[in-house]
């Protein structure tokens, strides 16, 4: 039986194409579809309608990217991934894993409760709560403000005084703040580790 693999990606980038090519070399049939194009459809036997599958279901789903959108749109797209899981289709990464990782406050909570060291971190709503927190912490250390949702360093700010805190509308009313951790450098570097099912598969050092 030839496995049918669905790659969920909103852009046809080199990484998605390379992943598809390698799967095809291993004998799989690969279809790449944006998650936004997959519909809930109660007229379909599975309850889902997937472009290119003619009512059938994939044997596995690989999630490369989920486009930004409204709260409703992103909730629906994650619902599609949850539906694949309910249909016993393997999904990497699962909707639950994405939900845990995309929200920095939940990620930090889970890391803390797993016993992994993290900088002291606070997530509060409203400028008044953020100012009270900063007033308490700033005498000891600067703070780093990060968007609750985001990546690649976009939107990060160093908070050294109360006046550095942005207005609520700039952060959608949520202030995710961490103690600043000074590091030796330049050069600065970090490590990225790829883990699957508890096993380290690859890692790299990145320098900025």
What three-state secondary structure class fits 102? helix
DSSP letter for 71, please. H
CA distance 51 to 54: 7
Report field, pTM of the whole predicted structure over 0.95: no
21-54 pLDDT, tens digit per residue, is 999 999 999 999 999 999 999 999 999 999 999 8
Positive/negative CA dihedral, 143, 190, 148, 113: negative
- Token pair of 10, please? 């909103």
Q: What is the mean pLDDT of residues 10-23?
A: 89
Give the chain's domains with CATH numbers: 4-102 (3.40.50.20), 104-179 (3.30.1490.20)
- How confident is the model at residue 1, as a pLDDT? 85
Contact 30, 61 (CB under 8 A): no
Contact 175, 143 (CB under 8 A): no
């Amino acid at each position: 039986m030839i496995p049918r693999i669905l790659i969920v990606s909103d852009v046809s980038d080199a990484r998605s194409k390379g992943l598809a090519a390698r799967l095809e070399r291993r004998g799989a049939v690969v279809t790449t579809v944006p998650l936004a194009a997959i519909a809930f459809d109660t007229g379909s036997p599975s309850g889902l309608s997937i472009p290119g599958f003619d009512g059938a279901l994939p044997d596995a789903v690989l999630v490369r990217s989920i486009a930004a959108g409204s709260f409703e749109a992103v909730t629906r797209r994650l619902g599609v991934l949850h539906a694949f899981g309910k249909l016993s289709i393997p999904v990497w990464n699962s909707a639950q894993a994405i939900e845990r990782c995309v929200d920095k406050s939940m990620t930090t909570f889970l890391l803390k409760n797993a016993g992994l060291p993290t900088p002291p971190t606070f997530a509060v709503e409203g400028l008044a709560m953020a100012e009270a927190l900063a007033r308490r912490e700033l005498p000891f250390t600067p703070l780093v403000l990060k968007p609750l949702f985001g990546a690649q360093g976009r939107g990060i700010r160093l908070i050294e005084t109360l006046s550095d805190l942005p207005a609520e509308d700039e952060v959608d009313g949520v202030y995710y703040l961490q103690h600043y951790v000074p590091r030796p450098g330049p050069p600065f570097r970090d490590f990225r580790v790829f883990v699957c099912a508890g096993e380290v598969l690859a890692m790299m050092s990145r320098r900025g």
